[in-house]
Amino acid sequence: MESSKKIDVVYILSEKSSGSSFLFRSLNDALGITSYPRTKHFESETLFWTKAASLLDKPQLSMLASAVPYDKDRARKELTEFLASNLPTNITFNTDEELVFNGWFELLREFGPIFIEKSPHHLLQWNALALMLEFEKRFSDKVNCHYVCIARNPKDVFLSQFRRWNVSLKQLENQWLTTYMNWERFLEQNSLSASKIFTRYEDLVAERPVVISKICNAIGADSIVRGSEKVRKSKSSKQSDSFGYVFSESTVQLAKTMGYTASDLEHSRTLKWFVYEYYIRFFYSPAKSLYQAFKGV
């Protein structure tokens, strides 16, 4: 088949703290991928398409606990350095547009035949998604693009981000809604893509081989789940029973379309939540910031 000669790129799309890293590791394990480009970001994230949107003057939303969106000069500098550190020295680009589209293709060719991209910054940015679709159209004869969206119970997502970054939960709710409404909109876009797949973190934890096999079958790749990974309950998840932020009806309805039930989303404003929220905001986060400043993190 002609498609078997193409490079396959799998984009993992999500909100932060939703299991994208676990999915990324699981797919790499199942597909036997051992080589990945060097990146300055944590957990093999490239942030390629949000930087591309900045470089090409596409407006984006500010992301909580993130420098995204970058200014144009920083985006150009970091994309140039990223590609230069991972591609042969004889590859050059004459324009910003070439840097984005041709650069991404050269990266796929260098690290293919299957490449998995995971940056939980892209689903929030519609213009980053639009550039992915534009790349797909331009290189449809050379690349098969696949999109995997992973979601997690918003209670655990909110608790994790609150503990890690002391974010405003109201602002996070708006961001979460925008992120996953973008996925619904993305599903409706005309695309040459072989697959657009939705999965949940909870299902991945419970039935990892089944979920991974389903994704690999959808992209037409053989898979063997070689390793096992014990998933520990996060510190934030341990506070799930005391979670007291009241979701809007829009958040509840959207979560229900993902398969979460009313009982999954239940919460109440208790004294325990008040104490936990106060502790994170005024003791844990300030102390963490001081420690990181002292350590130079």
Reported as a single tens digit per residue, the pLDDT across 46-63 is 999 999 999 999 999 999
pTM, rounded to two decimals: 0.92
Rg of the chain on CA atoms, in Å:
20
pLDDT of residue 117: 96
In this model, does residue 209 exceed pLDDT 80?
yes
Grouping H, G, I as helix, E, B as strand and the rest as coil, residue 277 is helix
pLDDT of residue 3: 43
- pLDDT tens across 155-201, in order? 999 999 999 999 999 999 999 999 999 999 999 998 777 799 999 99
Report the distance separating Cα 201 and Cα 217, nearest Å: 19
Asked if residues 55 and 79 have their Cβ atoms less than 8 Å apart, the reply is yes
List of domains in the chain: 2-230 (3.40.50.300)
pLDDT of residue 270: 82
pLDDT of residue 80: 97
Q: Could you tell me the two tokens for 32? A: 């036997």
Neighbours of 72 (CB within 10 A): 14
Overall average pLDDT of the 269-295 stretch: 86
Residue with tokens 């910003």: 96
Name 157's Cβ contacts closer than 8 Å, sequence gap at least 6.
15, 16, 17, 18, 176
Report the distance separating Cα 278 and Cα 234, nearest Å: 20
Report the distance separating Cα 138 and Cα 25, nearest Å: 29
Asked if residues 194 and 146 have their Cβ atoms less than 8 Å apart, the reply is yes
- pLDDT tens across 32-41, in order? 998 999 999 9
What's the mean pLDDT when you consider all of the chain? 91
pLDDT of residue 289: 84
pLDDT of residue 233: 60
Q: Can you list the alpha helix ranges (DSSP code H) found in 166-257?
A: 169-187, 201-206, 208-218, 249-257
Q: How confident is the model at residue 103 (pLDDT cuts 50, 70, 90)?
A: very high
Enumerate helices (H) and strands (E) in the chain, giving the number of each: 13, 4
- pLDDT tens across 65-75, in order? 999 999 999 99
Quick one: residue 237, left, alpha or beta (phi over 0 = left, psi -120 to 50 = alpha)? Answer: alpha
- pLDDT tens across 108-133, in order? 999 999 999 999 999 999 999 999 99
